Amino acid sequence: MCSIKADAQYKNYQNTLNMYGFKQLIKTPTRVTATSKSAINHIMCNNMQKIQQYGVIPYGVSDHYIIYCTRNHVKNKTNSHKGIQMRSLKKYSKEVFVELLHNVNWSSVYRSGNVDEAWLSFRDLFSTILDSVAPVKEVRIKNPSEPWITAEILECIRERDSWLCKTRKDKHMPDHYDKYRKLRNKVINDIRNAKRQYMIDKIDENKDNPKQLWKHLKDLGYQSKSKESTNIVLDVDGIKCHDKKDVADHFNNFFTQIASNLVSKLPKQESFSYDVESEKFKNQYKDIVPDSFELQEVSEKFVLNEIQSLDINKSTGLDGIPARFIKDAAEVIKGPITYIVNFSLRSGIVPNDMKLAKVIPIYKKKSRLDAGNYRPVITLGSKQPPVTTLG
């Protein structure tokens, strides 16, 4: 009776595959025991032109082997390894850096016709020297082993895999498979017990320190609230927008126009006008806001003191120049920096790079499709990507 039922299920399975033009790719056994072997893990495909390779990997994680399939063409292929950009300080010397800056001709900064040209000229000259003494490098970040994985567990894993190899080489030795199976189960139990004990120890160790406790819980995968999706979808003119550039443009327009839009919705009152050019508005704040004020130009001494007070532990801005190098070069660059600041004060113009910002929309409440339910977190700086420092 069981055999008849199994045959009927197999025929239904085959009919379903044939109906939609699918082909079962895995032909070799995917589960092997001492007394049996079967191909019970499948990969189905209805277009073999898109398949590059497929097969079975006999690995000792469980008694089910790993099956795999790779495509011929993968869109937007990216490196699976994580990496960050860092400035290498392997050959960095403050004395050499300062000496090279002393030899720089800053005349292009002082001869600039506007403050934008002056700033860009300074940034390019400074960055060129900085790149020569502390070049930017792509550093691969390795994923460390889980903190509860001990040397004993790793040794047991190696022994388990060794017995799996022996089992494959000599299938007529049931003792080999029994030994592998016992080690496999031991590894599973040891990892579970080690993880449980690790969590108990960390909770007991940090029961009076909630900050450290949540840090460990987050490392284990526990979050105080659900993670947000990296891809934001917005409702733009009644259409759900998925394109990242269109979403960014919509956020940009919304955040830059929100103030004027809110003012336009304010009720019109006879006793007060929200028009900043109206006499009522000017008279309302006449006693609070002065008619005019003047910004005084700064001295090189003032600029030097400000540069030397920079906190080098703060994150790097979007210009890619860490505060450490600005501070190291304070005596050399105080002249051109002072000139740029005073040029900006005299002309009443701020360099365009200083007006740029990296805005990260953070979801707050209600519908995720509405841009108004996100709050902008702003990082000021220029167009270049942030770079951290590698010592």
Q: What was the pLDDT predicted at 302?
A: 94
Q: Directed axis angle between helix 151-169 and helix 174-205, to 10°?
A: 160
Between CA 73 and CA 54 the distance in angstroms is 14
304 closest CA partner among 332, 346, 343, 345: 332
| Residue 374 CB burial class (10 angstroms; 0-12, 13-18, ≥19) | buried
Helices (H), the chain: 2-19, 94-102, 107-110, 115-133, 151-169, 174-205, 210-219, 244-264, 279-284, 300-308, 323-328, 330-347
C-alpha 64 chain-centroid distance = 34
Residue 386 has pLDDT above 50, yes or no: no
Q: 253-263: per-residue pLDDT in tens?
A: 888 888 777 77
- For the entire predicted model, the pTM comes to 0.53
Residue indicated by tokens 């420092």: 389
pLDDT of res. 385:
42
> Residue 305, CB half-sphere, CA atoms under 13 Å: how many?
5
Which residue(s) pair with 70 in the sheet? 53
How many Cβ atoms are within 10 Å of 66's Cβ, its own excluded? 13
More confident: 92 or 242: 92
* Residue 332 scores a pLDDT above 90: yes
Cβ atoms of 50 and 60 within 8 Å: the answer is no
> Which among 29, 74, 77, 33 is positioned nearest to 55, based on CA atoms?
29
Looking at residue 193, its amino acid is N
Separation between Cα atoms, residue 274 and residue 260, nearest integer Å: 11
Percentage of the chain lying above the pLDDT 90 cut: 19
- Give the mean pLDDT of the chain: 80
Instruction: Name the pairing type of β-strands 23-24 and 234-236.
Output: unpaired
pLDDT tier for residue 108 given thresholds of 50, 70 and 90: very high
Map residue 367 onto helix, strand or coil: coil
* Residues 202-229 pLDDT 10s: 888 887 888 887 877 776 666 555 555 5
Residue with tokens 């292009």: 108
Q: Is 361 helix (H, G, I), strand (E, B) or coil?
A: strand
Report the pLDDT value the prediction gives residue 221, as an integer from 0 to 100: 61
Confidence band (pLDDT; 50, 70, 90) for 80?
low
Q: Provide, rounded to the nearest whole percent, the portion of the chain with pLDDT above 70.
A: 81
pLDDT of residue 61: 67
Report whether 310 contacts 375 (CB < 8 A): no
CA dihedral over 255, 258, 259, 260, signed as positive or negative: positive
pLDDT at 40: 83
In the prediction, which pLDDT does 254 show? Answer: 87
* Higher-confidence position of 1 and 168: 168
| Selection from 246, 280, 276, 243 nearest residue 259 by Cα | 276
The confidence score (pLDDT) of residue 371 equals: 84
* CA angle (276 as vertex; 273, 277 as ends), nearest 5: 100
pLDDT at 268 over 80: no
Q: Which residues contact 110 (CB under 8 A, 6 or more apart)?
A: 118, 336, 339
